[in-house]
Amino acid sequence: MDMSELTALLTPEGLRLLDAAEPVRSSADVARQVTRLRAAGHSPDLVSAVVGQARLRERGRAKFGEIAERMLFTRAGLEQATRLGVATLHARRFRDAGFESVADLGCGIGGDATGFAGLGLRVLAVEADEVTAAIAAYNLAAFGDAARVVHGRAEQTDLGDVDAVWLDPARRTAGHTETRRLADADDYSPSLEVALRIARERPAGIKLGPGLDRGLIPDDVEAQWITVDGTTLEVVLFSGSLARPDVRRAALVVTADGAHELTAPADTDDEPVRELGAFVHEPAGSVIRARLVGDVARALEAGPVAPGIAYLTGDAGVTSPFVSTFRVRETLPADVKKLGRALRERGIGTLEIKKRGIDVDPAMLRPKLGLRGDEAATLLLTRIGSARVAILADRV
């Protein structure tokens, strides 16, 4: 969305059309809506804005639930926004630390700021992109004076009136649609160096990508990796009183059953390798990145199937929120032809394929297996020692 489209949309006519728009879930829906609105005499900018927003609102429900129907988005802004449930967890930490106000530097479309304001904190939301700042202002308008949006740069913001800071450095190239991930932390906006400098001056949380080079994490912050519904989304570096005493590594796993967390003062030691047992456990990505796999293994009476492989195995019939657990049926030949034949003999037509430690593309492997039958199973492809292993299993 550019400024001309946003200007056309932020009118009584534009907002009425958007609120009345039917859900847009496919290219056919887009074409139908565009044809209808253009036939009614609306301008190209307004039609593009309304149809684009209707589609983004439909996608936004996955992150924001029903309130997505009252929000505006850019495509890039929605992709990079924090899910509302996770933003609320972040906000709770600020509130529980006794803070009453927070500066959200790099607020994007206002996802985290919505979490802060929703828990009663006063928010100064700062965004460098003019269009995105205007959209954030729209999304936060319901909070009145409790949420103020400023078009400006994080490093130039006066923080004298806020208790703590939330930073979400831009980690992709500028733009509202197609963007490219930035590999160098010096290229973030603000750079990681600037964000850490701000975090040394006052309590802060810095949201970063989960694959952050661990060598860039200072010793005096708490690093919390977060997995939601099986996807590892981010790592947050907490400084000052937002960092919990004696916690430097944390893995948060959020599922439909709630939030579960492992914490430790440092990386934990791995358990010794074990022979393949009755169960295989795959730790959540946040547990792996926080290097807390050893703690999970000990709780499950398990150990890795091989050095450096994050599949754990054991005979105890237990599981935890920090792993996906599979009951082992048998091992099968790793050769593609022999593997496909074995799966067909067992009548397996529906197969979840997972892999660790070997260079296999499950999407390319699947059609080569010639699956047939009514049975379902999971195939775990990995290595044990120098051998490639195919483990046929069932989810627990």
pLDDT digits (tens, 9 = 90+) for 369-382: 999 999 999 999 99
Residue type at 92 in one-letter notation: R
Cα dist. 28→44, 51, 71, 182 in Å? Answer: 18, 12, 23, 34
Q: Over 80: is that where the pLDDT of 245 sits?
A: yes
Q: Over 60: is that where the pLDDT of 272 sits?
A: yes
DSSP state of 271: P
Cα separation, 139 vs 110, whole angstroms: 7
- Nearest residue to 299 via CA among 265, 271, 327, 328: 271
Strands 387-395 and 323-332: antiparallel
Residue with tokens 């039917």: 22
Question: What are the pLDDT digits (tens) for 83-101?
Answer: 999 999 999 999 999 999 9
* Between 264 and 256, the higher pLDDT residue: 264
Rounded average pLDDT over 347-357 = 96
Cα separation, 216 vs 38, whole angstroms: 52
CATH number belonging to the domain at 78-264, selected among 3.40.50.150, 3.40.50.720, 3.40.1190.20, 3.30.428.10: 3.40.50.150
Q: State the pLDDT confidence band at 137, using cuts at 50, 70 and 90.
A: very high
Strand partners, 140: none
Cα separation, 20 vs 208, whole angstroms: 37
What residues have CB less than 8 Å from 130, skipping those under 6 apart?
3, 151
**pLDDT for the residue 52:** 92
- The residue ranges of DSSP E strands in 136-294, in sequence order, are 147-151, 164-167, 204-208, 222-228, 231-238, 249-255, 258-264, 279-283
Q: How far is CA 13 from the centre of its chain?
A: 35
Tokens of 306: 């091989």
**pLDDT for the residue 85:** 94
Cα dist. 321→4, 82, 216 in Å? Answer: 47, 22, 29
Question: What are the φ/ψ torsions at residue 166 (nearest 5 degrees)?
Answer: -115, 125
Rounded average pLDDT over 44-64 = 93
Q: How far is CA 271 from the centre of its chain?
A: 28
**pLDDT for the residue 93:** 97
Tokens of 365: 């492997």
- Nearest residue to 279 via CA among 310, 302, 307, 308: 302
Q: Over 90: is that where the pLDDT of 172 sits?
A: no
What residues have CB less than 8 Å from 208, skipping those under 6 apart?
169, 171, 192, 234, 235, 236, 237
Residue with tokens 């980690």: 171
**pLDDT for the residue 386:** 84
Cis status, amide bond into 321, omega within 30 of 0? no
Q: How far is CA 18 from the centre of its chain?
A: 28
Tell me the average pLDDT of the chain: 94
- The residue ranges of DSSP E strands in 76-140, in sequence order, are 101-105, 122-127
Q: State the pLDDT confidence band at 177, using cuts at 50, 70 and 90.
A: low
% of the chain at pLDDT higher than 90:
87
* Angle at which helices 84-96 and 111-118 cross, to 10°: 50
370: left (phi over 0), alpha (psi -120 to 50) or beta: left
Q: State the pLDDT confidence band at 187, using cuts at 50, 70 and 90.
A: confident
- Nearest residue to 107 via CA among 121, 87, 92: 87
Q: How far is CA 109 from the centre of its chain?
A: 16
Question: What are the φ/ψ torsions at residue 321 (nearest 5 degrees)?
Answer: -65, -15
* Residue 57 near residue 73, CB atoms below 8 Å: yes
Question: What are the φ/ψ torsions at residue 132 (nearest 5 degrees)?
Answer: -65, -40
Cα separation, 192 vs 329, whole angstroms: 47
- Does the pTM surpass 0.75? The reply is yes
What residues have CB less than 8 Å from 152, skipping those under 6 apart?
126, 127, 128
Tokens of 275: 């022979």
Q: Over 60: is that where the pLDDT of 106 sits?
A: yes
**pLDDT for the residue 352:** 97
Q: State the pLDDT confidence band at 355, using cuts at 50, 70 and 90.
A: very high
